[in-house]
């Protein structure tokens, strides 16, 4: 599939209309969905309406932006007015938001064509999209394997060319890990760079929205469109947004003397040998491009996982208290009093992993345990941040694997939650520190499954991070590889 700039050129030169591009994309989705299940809801009418509006602008000789007429998919935890938003949960199965999230509002204003809402682990809790209340999403490189998660639907939609772009959300790796497992680019921006107004909250001190794309340049274009201050999100940062895509160059700036740090602790036990080999080769490529490579120690990196699985479920237990069967969502009609109604509705509407995290968070915050768990985890969070701070005194960008393994078999980890949690080991510390990070394809294992390289930047240095990722990508061929899918 063409890049965003190529599609834009085709539109402007009237070689293809937005309606043609959208129709072809919707047809491809129809053909592939029975095997992939990336989407929970397809907004074909809205897409065609948006495409027609762009074509009218082009016909009238009006100038159009880069995203005008470009089809894209949105993770189903971002509200769109009048369109079902389920978070892949039975509790929100029939919920139609009366308001629009800031990110989708910005996309609609940019003329982007919204194809539909993508599958996820229920309420973004999971690493495989197997926790969806509406069935799992399959990895296009091997349908028997997981897509990663929680933004598995968005990752698969982009990897299988059902959409050139998609939005995901990342609380502990939910964009980067599925991007890695599906062989696409996925980025989590700095905490607060992209407004979360209208994003259904999971863990508010960690959640961030970001792009999926088949190239770093496409991801940079989408990021530029959604980033920026929003008074409706109290955590939104008031900062200038550079033109990320324009700043990209094929090489490192010769005067930049770029310093890249390899996080030592990520190469320990649990790391798949083939992943290790490909990531090390990628680091050599970065060195050949002119970067100075240093091995950096972040001694508390590994403590990120236990700290996260206290902090995130604690925040989730509070955030998900809103599903009370009173104002919206599912209600158990048989309950005879209010408390029974809460309990039965939530028992019926939430899946196992969501219940598990609500239980874990409620326990960690309950009287007598707060200091031992939640407060301790927040203190450890400080230590993890300090490790990153001192690392970034020595280097400009950090690298490590995105995921310790390639895509695992569906069902392999569903009975052992702790094993599932471990697949976020490399991505979680980044969320705890609020840093931007991107996963780019860096090779395949012997089974033909994609491997991802994670690049981590300083706060608000998305510009540099994307430049490094782009230079790496442009000197490799990985992003041209496509899964073979039989259209039925």
Q: Which of residues 229-288 bind other proteins (CB under 8 A)?
A: 231, 234-235, 237
Q: By CB under 8 A, is residue 201 in contact with other proteins?
A: no
Q: Which of 359, 409, 447, 448 is the binder for other proteins (CB under 8 A)?
A: 359
Structure tokens at 205: 């001190």
202 DSSP assignment: S
Q: By CB under 8 A, is residue 199 in contact with other proteins?
A: no
Q: Which of 23, 355, 412, 474 is the binder for other proteins (CB under 8 A)?
A: 355
Our answer to whether residue 280 is catalytic in this structure is: no
Specify the stretch interacting with other proteins by CB under 8 A; choose among 241-249, 433-441, 462-470, 475-483.
Answer: 433-441
Specify the stretch interacting with other proteins by CB under 8 A; choose among 7-15, 43-51, 156-164, 302-310.
Answer: 302-310
Q: Which of 358, 428, 437, 449 is the binder for other proteins (CB under 8 A)?
A: 358
363 versus 444: smaller Cβ distance to other proteins: 363
59 versus 372: smaller Cβ distance to other proteins: 372
252 versus 309: smaller Cβ distance to other proteins: 309
In order of 26, 46, 67, 451, the CA distances from 81 in angstroms are 21, 12, 21, 37
92: helix, coil or strand? Answer: helix
240 DSSP assignment: -
Q: Which of 431, 439, 454, 467 is the binder for other proteins (CB under 8 A)?
A: 431
Catalytic pick among 17, 38, 75, 128: 75
Kindly report the number of other CB atoms within 10 A of residue 416's CB atom.
Answer: 10
Greatest C-alpha distance within the chain: 72
**Contacting other proteins within 362-401 (CB under 8 A):** 362-363, 366, 373, 375-383, 385
Our answer to whether residue 3 is catalytic in this structure is: no
45 DSSP assignment: H
Q: Which of 191, 212, 301, 408 is the binder for other proteins (CB under 8 A)?
A: 191
Asked if 222 contacts 174 with a C-beta cutoff of 8 angstroms, the reply is no
Specify the stretch interacting with other proteins by CB under 8 A; choose among 164-172, 186-194, 253-261, 403-411.
Answer: 186-194
* HSE, side-chain direction, 13 A CA sphere, residue 249: 8
Could you tell me the sign of the dihedral formed by the alpha carbons of 25, 129, 127, 408, in that order? negative
Q: Which of 435, 464, 466, 471 is the binder for other proteins (CB under 8 A)?
A: 435
Specify the stretch interacting with other proteins by CB under 8 A; choose among 55-63, 167-175, 190-198, 465-473.
Answer: 190-198
Catalytic pick among 38, 174, 195, 439: 174
In order of 55, 245, 476, the CA distances from 216 in angstroms are 27, 9, 12
Structure tokens at 485: 């899918």
Q: Which of 23, 205, 274, 474 is the binder for other proteins (CB under 8 A)?
A: 205
- In angstroms, the first-to-last Cα distance of the chain is 19
Strands 113-118, 39-42: pairing is antiparallel
**Contacting other proteins within 309-348 (CB under 8 A):** 309-310, 317, 321, 324-331, 335-344, 346-347
CB of 57 to other proteins, least distance (A): 27
- Nearest of 273, 25, 18 to residue 162 by alpha carbon: 25
CB of 358 to other proteins, least distance (A): 5
Q: At what angle do helices 44-59 and 4-12 cross, to 10 degrees?
A: 50
In order of 124, 235, 305, 339, the CA distances from 203 in angstroms are 10, 13, 14, 25
Catalytic pick among 132, 147, 150, 151: 150
CB of 223 to other proteins, least distance (A): 17
235 versus 476: smaller Cβ distance to other proteins: 235
**Contacting other proteins within 398-417 (CB under 8 A):** 417
- Nearest of 367, 347, 446 to residue 405 by alpha carbon: 446
Asked if 137 contacts 119 with a C-beta cutoff of 8 angstroms, the reply is yes
In the shown chain, the binding pattern of residues 71 to 110 toward other proteins, with x for contact by CB under 8 A and - for none, equals ------------------------xx-xx-----------
Structure tokens at 270: 């649990």
**Contacting other proteins within 35-74 (CB under 8 A):** none
Could you tell me the sign of the dihedral formed by the alpha carbons of 463, 460, 166, 408, in that order? positive
CB of 325 to other proteins, least distance (A): 6
**Contacting other proteins within 142-161 (CB under 8 A):** none
Q: By CB under 8 A, is residue 418 in contact with other proteins?
A: yes
Q: Which of 72, 79, 275, 433 is the binder for other proteins (CB under 8 A)?
A: 433
What contacts 313, CB < 8 A, 6 or more positions away? 203, 357, 358, 360, 361, 364
Strands 208-213, 165-170: pairing is antiparallel
CA–CA distance, 283 with 486 (Å, rounded to integer): 35
Our answer to whether residue 174 is catalytic in this structure is: yes
Catalytic residue set: 75, 150, 174
């Amino acid at each position: 599939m063409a890049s965003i700039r190529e599609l834009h050129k085709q539109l402007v030169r009237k070689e293809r209309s937005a309606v043609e591009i959208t129709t072809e994309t919707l047809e491809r989705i129809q053909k592939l969905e029975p095997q992939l299940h990336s989407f929970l809801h397809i907004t074909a009418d809205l897409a065609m309406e948006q495409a027609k509006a762009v074509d009218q602008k082009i016909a009238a000789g009006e100038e159009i932006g880069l995203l005008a007429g470009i089809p894209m998919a949105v993770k189903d935890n971002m509200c769109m007015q009048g369109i079902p938003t389920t978070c892949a949960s039975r509790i929100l199965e029939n919920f139609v938001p009366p308001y629009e999230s800031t990110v989708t509002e910005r996309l609609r204003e940019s003329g982007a064509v919204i194809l539909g809402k993508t599958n996820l682990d229920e309420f973004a809790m999971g690493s495989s999209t197997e926790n969806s209340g509406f069935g799992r999403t399959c990895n296009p490189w091997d349908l028997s394997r997981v897509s990663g998660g929680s933004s598995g639907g968005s990752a698969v939609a982009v990897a299988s060319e059902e959409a050139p772009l998609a939005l995901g959300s990342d609380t502990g790796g939910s964009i980067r890990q599925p991007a890695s497992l599906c062989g696409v680019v996925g980025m989590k921006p700095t905490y607060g760079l992209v407004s979360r107004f209208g994003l259904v909250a999971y863990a508010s001190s960690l959640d961030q929205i970001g792009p999926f794309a088949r190239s770093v340049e496409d991801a940079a274009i989408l990021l530029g469109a959604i980033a920026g201050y929003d008074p409706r999100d109290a955590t939104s940062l008031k900062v200038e947004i550079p033109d990320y895509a324009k700043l990209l160059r094929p090489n490192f700036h010769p005067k930049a003397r770029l310093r890249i740090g390899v996080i030592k602790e990520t190469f320990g036990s649990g790391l798949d040998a083939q992943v290790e080999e490909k990531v090390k080769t990628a680091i050599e490529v970065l060195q050949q491009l002119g970067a100075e490579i240093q091995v950096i120690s972040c001694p508390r990196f590994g403590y990120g996982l236990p700290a996260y699985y206290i902090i995130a479920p604690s925040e989730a237990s509070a955030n998900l208290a809103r599903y009370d069967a009173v104002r919206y969502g599912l209600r158990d009609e048989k309950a005879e009093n209010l408390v029974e109604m809460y309990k039965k509705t939530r028992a019926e509407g939430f899946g196992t992993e969501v219940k598990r995290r609500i239980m874990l968070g409620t326990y960690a915050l309950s009287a007598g345990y707060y200091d031992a768990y939640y407060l301790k985890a927040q203190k450890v969070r400080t230590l993890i941040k300090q490790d990153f701070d001192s690392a970034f005194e020595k280097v400009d960008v950090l690298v490590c694997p995105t995921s310790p393994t390639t895509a695992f078999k569906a069902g392999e980890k569903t009975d052992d939650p702790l094993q599932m949690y471990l697949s976020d080991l490399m991505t979680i510390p980044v969320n705890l520190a609020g840093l931007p990070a991107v996963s780019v394809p860096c090779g395949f294992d012997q089974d033909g499954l994609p491997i991802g390289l994670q690049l981590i930047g300083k706060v608000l240095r998305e510009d540099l991070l994307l430049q490094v990722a782009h230079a790496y990508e442009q000197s490799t061929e990985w992003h041209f590889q496509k899964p073979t899918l039989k259209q039925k």
